[in-house]
Structure 1
């Protein structure tokens, strides 16, 4: 006939031809009504009232009132007896209020006689009044008053908020910077840097659709934190990654002819591990929350002009942005390791970790199957960094300074012929391991593949910067370093000098 407390049925409704009416006045559990209304996606006048609570002991009075109104206004006749079914009687809530607690909460001493008088005027029955506290029975129609703080709020409402004076003195203590304060400072620092590079900050809903994870293995739908009462199928799970929210924002802009996008977002992700579900006492054990930084780049990074042509965003533009973030946080390039990523969201990508193996994040070119989920046709570069890990690494860093060296740096170039599978990271690691004291920097300034090179080979041209802070380098020292570097590159990577 109906969904109790939510929605009426057609067969039990009243029409113009109705001559007999059966009146029902009922009380329904607010929690059950709210869950039912959300489950069926119904928001009615009935659910609006019942889910907020009504007076369970007022049903008989309301039934009589409705019957009298039908009789008076519509000429009806009351023909049947009244039937009252009240299996579980709901008694008035009993609350004990400590007077000292009320004083601390209000911030002013209100005489106990005044508080008791106010409670009586609010139709609260005084069960026991002592010197330190008072116990009252709250009328059943006051469904919002169940705790001592609720009673204090009622007292203050009648007493008057304007009658609580603001003290002329403030009692406080010196605060200290916590981990959260440092995290907020670093977040503002990186936000300022990204905005200075032309990025826009976005903020997406933590709720997302399960369909995004349906065909993924590393972020499968089974690891999603599901909602018991989802508002819709598009918002039925918590996000495992910031990726899809950013793609929705990108798609929204691209569809409005704003295709050149630089976006970033700080946000939390939520992961459910079904294997950790076992101990009934550890209810939250399978659930994890992590803070992440997501970065999206797509379209043109440089607009065309008379001075220079347009330039599209590349993988290396994104890598440079990530490298600048790490550098700003005090994490040097020598501490970071890049490895080829096997993450299915990337067509080509890199995993980022510390030399000790701690994962920092990943970056790459998004795969087409991921872009298709948001109906995006153009290439999108994406990076997601573990913000908790970055903060942990950054707070350990201490800012130090030294006088500028009085000597000049020496630069030497090397052109290396290498196998195609040799990455620049391996080259850099080999060079840095060969000379740790004098080597200040290593950079790649040219890469060549193709004509005039053997099959399966490529050419790297690198610059090494050498410097001794105490004295000018001699030719013999430079030659010794270069000889050692070349020997290690040859033995470990099979490099040949061009």
Structure 2
């Protein structure tokens, strides 16, 4: 929000330097984004009068003008505007002056120089509105009023010798009263130790405006009282819409507004001054666009209906719904309440009668509407920070006064004021000793009372320690005594409070178990050569469908950053598949990607009926090389490395095609169709389902142009964290070496790997021996082959002795015999 220091000083009677004011804002109010000394932009620009005019002898489009700049000699300037006449007052930019508005940067501004044009010297320039940064017209030289004093600095005459401060809006989040210069002037005046004197017009809330001619009908109905606590309006006639006077245009430009016309500019000026937005409707357009064709202007405040839309002042059509408040005639929307007017009733050069609106709207409703429509306006920004409904009438009356002064406008109706529940000041009692204890200072009672009086807190009652005050209605942020403590500390100055560390028991912070677990997993993957990704949490329908996922289960974003980021992703795997495809296209032949993040599934909720947000570990493994082994086992090795490092035991892998969907969570049901059902497994630890691991479905691999050797895993980190991990008991280091045996068996395709694994594991683990089983390879001669060959590596150790060949042969024969008996296995 841009602030004019000249106006601040005028309203608050502040006699501080620009630098002191900037410091005061930074230390007591909020962040200052930037500041600008406008007088530097308009230095070396003077008011001048044309004394002589003649045509250029060698250029038909150039005029030669002699200017009186207040110096002894006239100055010769050449210009392309031949409409200038003797006696016109203009803005003269002398050689060395910087042009306020150019396409050049601040580091390399456009500097006026004396130059020869077709044989004649032009000693400077006469500025247009655009070049002076006071409008958009650059075709002619800007004329100044006849009473402009020749030789006076242009900036001084038009109050452009100002200092503009841009305050960060976010710093004023809870202070709706500071979104007007009046509120900031009040605050700064108190900060600098003086009481603020509120302008008389701002405290005059009487409805004492009389009709000055025949009454214009104005009928207003408020069907949204909960969201529109107050709505006031007045009708005016004999309006002449024209260009605003230069002082007003100058003021608006300093505020960052674009001047439009005198009516709109007055509403914008008063809005910036008071913080209360105003809006002007064309009275005749309201009547003519109303399907009822009444002679009375009908205004209704209500919620929009499904299917309604409005063409806004931004020339865009905005689709409405029943959560958006609108200002309507008897049937159709005229404006989006508190945010933007409609183009069908905007004030233009033909407007003769207006309806001037000053209203108060619910901040939450305005904020939600702004987000739904993706529409940010100055009015909406002010309303969504909670404004004082009691300022509606004073601000409306001040705008009427300015319009009457600016045009021949007359008041043509009473003030219509719909204000069913009056906002009253809140009574709050505070303890003076608690104020000092809370702030860590030692202020005297008189000092605290004076600060509160300066801030316009009326004192209702006071005794030795207690003080009862009324919080002004414009201070919507003050609801409890601690808010007043903060006000006192802020005005006193936090930088004046000694920094003393509080004394308290030091309790060590507990690690976030999920973050600690993620850190371990990240290290395991990194040590194994995997690459971590951090992709968008958003995706789109085509990507989900390519991954065999149901897009209807994804949350849809109201205002997506881009079409390809319109949905919240339901799984991390599709994002990894996209990155896998990209890396393959870049020439990488084999790699592993992993990511830890939170997917969101519509309808998958926690006990509080909020979207469940479990952390997931997802990974994709791929290689374009022809390999005899299965990608599933590479993924399994990574997972087992994690599980063994975390000491998670009793892990079971159940073939996806054999697992009952009834026992699966929504997230597993959502993800399972990305995996091949015959080469993928559900991973469990006891009765806890951890996730899914396996080869990517062939259709999905085709959609993403991935090689055959591609697998993935999707593990719920929250489920991992929920496992009660038992600490390993102490065992002696083995005294005797282990022996290794490789065993290759041929079995029918319907025999599951897990059944073979369990059989072998049981035979090599008993009271005397301990063994481990690892799958080295699974081989099929062709896709249509009826059998497959699986090669196992057995690592066997005896606790009491070194195994000899006879012992190993005996154990191996036992394993083979059981495999042949139970599975009709053939030993290769």
- What is the TM-score with the length of structure 2 in the denominator? 0.50
Deviation at 1:132, TM superposition (A): 6.0
* 1:454/1:297 CA distance change after superposition, 3 Å: closer
Deviation at 1:313, TM superposition (A): 11
CA contact (8 A) 1:272 1:286 kept: no
Q: Pick from 429, 437, 462: which aligns with 2:758?
A: 429
Deviation at 1:131, TM superposition (A): 5.7
How many Å separate the matches in 2 of 1:251 and 1:477? 51
How many Å separate the matches in 2 of 1:160 and 1:410? 78
Please list the CA deviations of residues 325-348 of structure 1 after superposition, one character each: whole Å capped at 9, or x if unmatched: 22322235x634242357212245
Partner of 1:290: 614
Within the alignment, does 1:377 sit opposite 2:712 as a pair? no
How many Å separate the matches in 1 of 2:529 and 2:419? 67
Listed as ranges, the matches of 1:351-370 within 5 Å are: 351-354=681-684, 356-367=686-697
Q: Pick from 225, 231, 241: which aligns with 2:559?
A: 231
Q: Pick from 766, 779, 792: which aligns with 1:448?
A: 779
Q: Pick from 442, 455, 470: which aligns with 1:122?
A: 455
How many Å separate the matches in 1 of 2:418 and 2:788? 88
Partner of 1:16: 349
1:71 alignment partner, SS class? helix
Q: Pick from 412, 415, 426: which aligns with 1:93?
A: 426
CA contact (8 A) 1:190 1:328 kept: no
2:479 alignment partner, SS class? coil
How many Å separate the matches in 2 of 1:175 and 1:254? 47
* 1:97/1:17 CA distance change after superposition, 3 Å: same
How many Å separate the matches in 1 of 2:524 and 2:592? 13
Listed as ranges, the matches of 1:93-492 within 5 Å are: 93-97=426-430, 102=435, 105-107=438-440, 114-129=447-462, 134-167=467-500, 170-175=503-508, 177=510, 180-204=511-535, 206=537, 221=552, 230-232=558-560, 239-246=569-576, 262-271=592-601, 273=603, 284-285=608-609, 287-298=611-622, 314-331=631-648, 335-340=651-656, 343-348=672-677, 350-354=680-684, 356-367=686-697, 376-378=704-706, 381-393=711-723, 396-399=725-728, 402-437=731-766, 438-450=769-781, 456-474=786-804, 477-492=807-822
Instruction: Look at both structures and tell me which one has the larger radius of gyration over its CA atoms.
Output: 2
Deviation at 1:381, TM superposition (A): 4.1
2:653 alignment partner, SS class? strand
2:612 alignment partner, SS class? strand
* 1:387/1:113 CA distance change after superposition, 3 Å: farther
CA contact (8 A) 1:294 1:383 kept: yes
1:288 alignment partner, SS class? coil
1:140 alignment partner, SS class? coil
CA contact (8 A) 2:538 2:569 kept: yes
* 1:212/1:462 CA distance change after superposition, 3 Å: closer
Deviation at 1:407, TM superposition (A): 1.5
Unmatched segments (≥5 aa) in structure 2: 1-333, 660-671
Deviation at 1:28, TM superposition (A): 1.1
* 1:444/1:271 CA distance change after superposition, 3 Å: closer
CA contact (8 A) 1:5 1:50 kept: yes
Deviation at 1:24, TM superposition (A): 1.1
How many Å separate the matches in 2 of 1:436 and 1:27? 79
Q: Pick from 372, 377, 401: which aligns with 1:39?
A: 372
How many Å separate the matches in 2 of 1:84 and 1:447? 84
How many Å separate the matches in 2 of 1:259 and 1:479? 42
How many Å separate the matches in 1 of 2:425 and 2:396? 21
How many Å separate the matches in 1 of 2:628 and 2:785? 31
CA contact (8 A) 2:680 2:694 kept: yes
Please list the CA deviations of residues 371-423 of structure 1 after superposition, one character each: whole Å capped at 9, or x if unmatched: 79xx8433564321110121233x62325554432322122232212111223
2:655 alignment partner, SS class? strand
How many Å separate the matches in 2 of 1:22 and 1:100? 52
- What is the TM-score with the length of structure 1 in the denominator? 0.80
Structure 1 window deviating more from structure 2 (14-23 vs 66-75): it is: 66-75
Deviation at 1:207, TM superposition (A): 5.9
How many Å separate the matches in 1 of 2:540 and 2:371? 17
**Aligned residues, how many?**
475
RMSD: 4.1
